[in-house]
Amino acid sequence: MKKVLLTGGTGFIGSHTAVELINSGYQVVIVDNLSNSTIDSLDGIENITGVRPEFVKADCSVFSEMESLFEKHGGFNSIIHFAALKSVVESVEKPLKYYNNNIISLIYLIQLLQKGGGGNIVFSSSCTVYGQPEKLPVSEESPYQPVASPYGNTKKISEDILRDTVNSNKSIKVVALRYFNPIGAHPSAEIGELIIGKPLYLLPYITQTAIGIRDKLQIFGNDYDSPDGTAIRDYFHVVDLAKAHVLALDRLVEKKNKSGFEVFNLGAGKGSTVLEIVKAFEKVTGVKLNYEIVGRRAGDVEQVWADTSLAQKELGWQTESTLEDALLTAWNWEKRLRGKEGK
């Protein structure tokens, strides 16, 4: 059985990817420091797949902990690297925290992979590397604009590190997946996006407002160049995103990659404004949202959505779920989560 290490594997995207990997016949080992997730996601993964992945609590930015993990398993040939801090807003406030965690952890993983003779990395990147694009939709060939946040810059720097590593060491192969805006939850509602503290992203803020945890949804800015003045993003279902990781890893394992370092955009291929998301959520759930317009946030770009034609051509990937599917599964997850907590 093919073995893969998932860093940050108890998190939102990591747990959904673990499900799809297990369903595709991979042996999954998860490492996570549980700073932004809980071990409960392992129960959800097991309930969906019938398999409980091996879990190790460790911090990817602590070399000795990662070295011990690699030694225990005799190394890994394949890694999907999710473990990173990911808040645009927090990164503006605490840039050194983001540079230290996100970049150091990647360097350590590369060093340990090289020590074992090389292998494959599927890297969790982001559309934030593009900054505010001059032309939409964004393709993988779009020129970089100044990155709007330290978080986005850590993803760009990480890609540069991976590209330089591949150029210097042919035993390392990389696929970097540039996500746009994954939302939703597994249709079973066994796993979803667990928010520890105040939500910093639109959908968890919407679902927490809808269920009564938050009094009001704040919409940051209504003076953007968009049909209703609110920012435009490319929202798509997290399960579709998870399946893309399996396709990317298969491509590397089966040596179908066309170069040592490949990049693919992942998104719905169309943009939606914040207010369009609010109205769509109200329609599919029947819940009226209380919201207010406030000022723009530092680090936010005005509008961005993906050209996903390369992923369709090379990975055979495209979204299967609708925006409404994603919104409804996010709501079902929120309701199940709060039911378990007695709220």
Q: Which amino acid is at 229?
A: G
* Contact (Cβ atoms closer than 8 angstroms) between residue 15 and residue 238: no
Q: Catalytic: 108?
A: no
Torsion of CA 275, 278, 282, 283, to 10 degrees: 60
How far is 86 from 67, CA to CA, in rounded Å?
Answer: 24
Q: Indicate the burial class of 274 (C-beta count within 10 angstroms; 0-12, 13-18, 19 or more).
A: buried
Under a CB-based contact definition with an 8 Å cutoff, are residues 44 and 190 in contact?
yes
Catalytic residue, chosen from 26, 98, 130, 151, is: 151
Assess contact for 31 and 83: CB atoms under 8 A.
yes
Amino acid at 321: S
Which of left, alpha, beta for 45 (phi over 0: left; psi -120 to 50: alpha)? alpha
Amino acid at 122: V
- Residues annotated as catalytic are 151
